Amino acid sequence: MLAATGRLSEARGLLLETLPHSTDIRAAEHQPDSVALHALLSYGLGRLDDAERQARAVLALRSRGWPPGLGVAVAASVLAHVLLDRGETEAAERVLCDGLPPGKPPGHLLFAPAVEARARLCAELGRLDEALEAWRHARRLTSDGRLGLRVTGGWQHVALALIVAGREEEARHVLQRETETAQEFGAAVPLALVHRVSGALRGGGRGLEELQRAVELLQSAEQPLELAVALVQLGSAQRRAGQRAAARRSLCRGREIARERGASVLADWADTELRVLGARAVRGGGDRLTPSERRVAEQAAAGLSNREIARGLYVSVKTVEWHLSHVYRKLGVRSRRELVPALARAAGRPSAHQRPAEAAHGQQDPDRRDAGARGQRAQQPGRARRPQAQPPRGVDGVTERVGPGDELKPERHAVHRGECA
């Protein structure tokens, strides 16, 4: 019930009290179903790396000869959602094929998350009839009101795919049924998902109002990835409506959340929308490493291979590669050899590669040193000071190319991979 009403942190806290073991692997050996539910809650809270590690800990038991339990289906659903968020569709399909028993669809409640994950997978692959059947089955499994196991909101992917395919009547039917369920519980996240899909279905001014309402509901919710999706969808609609400044704000914020959480598909969508706007993102404070990125970077700097890092953190090799690509971009490095000094600079301490004199010089007051250098240049005869032109600044640190009428001109390759300030 706590999960159904959006109180995921409380639900997670109660669940952790039943898991006395310190590591996910040890806990999975003793209480696999509880660890699988923990993974589901971690995913709802936007902790993708934790959710992946916990889900893989449960799924690993099968390779060690353990009999498949109900927790396997929940863990498979969580891992499938994580992989879909990172664009690994084929891997997600393999996970679900292994996690769901063959033949007749399962009838136990704990299979509902895996069935709903299959609905999302089929929707993203364009197999809409299969997606609809999986959605109906997931609803039957949770028909007694146990909405807590549907924290992933897989139905929205089915409805949105139907809208894109022009099957709007079927999308309206899905929306109507989910609206009834959301209103029955009155929780913020299910209601926000209803507004999101309704906004896509209506379009125009009414659609914008629905999307803005979804963002408002999600501001205080505990599901940051749902907020990020709503922000990017709102930004896309604002761009099409000509609200360029508002669109940049929504898109930059949604992209920042997506990158922090490791949702690469969503971050790429926001990048594409910003590119259409013709805005160039200025690198700035958003380039700080996330905790997951720092863990991967420190182990890579220590000489571990990607496979060794993946094994130690209990994530996939592709997840490690994805984190490292962001670490390299944020730190401005191209190889593992450069990671040690780059991490030291990011932490504000001299690295082992820095000469003692350089380290001592780096501890001096930089403002005083820079002021002295400027004074020496000013005393040189015949040296005229050249004013430096400042580029016009747009909203949230986005640089604009301003021309007649202050209209934003599209520019090829205008959006870089940096964060908005």
pLDDT of residue 367 exceeding 50, the answer is: no
pLDDT tens digits along 323-351: 898 889 888 888 888 888 888 887 765 54
Q: For residue 104, what pLDDT is reported? A: 62
CATH architecture of the domain 278-348+393-421 equals Orthogonal Bundle (1.10)
> Is there a contact between 109 and 142 (Cβ–Cβ < 8 Å)?
yes
What's 355-376 look like in SS3?
A: CHHHHHHHCCCHHHHHHHHHHH
Q: What is the CA radius of gyration of the chain?
A: 25
Q: Look up the pTM and report it.
A: 0.70
CA distance 355 to 361: 10
263 exposure class (CB count in 10 Å sphere: 0-12, 13-18, 19+):
buried
pLDDT tens digits along 3-19: 655 677 777 777 777 66
What one-character-per-residue DSSP string does 210-277 give? HHHHHHHHHHTSS-HHHHHHHHHHHHHHHHHTT-HHHHHHHHHHHHHHHHHHT-HHHHHHHHHHHHHH
Show Cβ contacts of residue 337 under 8 Å, excluding neighbours closer than 6 positions.
none
For tokens 């991967």, the residue is 296
CA distance 26 to 35: 10
Which range among 97-111, 163-177, 300-314, 400-414 shows the weakest confidence by mean pLDDT?
400-414
What are the sequence ranges of the domains in the chain? 1-158, 278-348+393-421
Region 185-209: mean pLDDT is 93
Q: For residue 230, what pLDDT is reported? A: 97
Q: For residue 11, what pLDDT is reported? A: 74
Show Cβ contacts of residue 181 under 8 Å, excluding neighbours closer than 6 positions.
147, 190
CATH architecture of the domain 1-158 equals Alpha Horseshoe (1.25)
pLDDT of residue 108 exceeding 90, the answer is: no
- Mean of all residue pLDDT scores within the chain: 77
> Is there a contact between 5 and 41 (Cβ–Cβ < 8 Å)?
no
Residue 357, both tokens: 């004199």
Region 198-220: mean pLDDT is 95
Which range among 313-322, 379-388, 391-400 shows the weakest confidence by mean pLDDT?
391-400
| Count of Cβ atoms closer than 10 Å to residue 241 Cβ | 15
pLDDT tens digits along 285-328: 345 777 778 889 999 998 999 999 888 776 788 888 888 988 89
> Of the ranges 114-118, 288-292, 362-366, 394-398, which is most confident?
114-118
pLDDT of residue 380 exceeding 80, the answer is: no
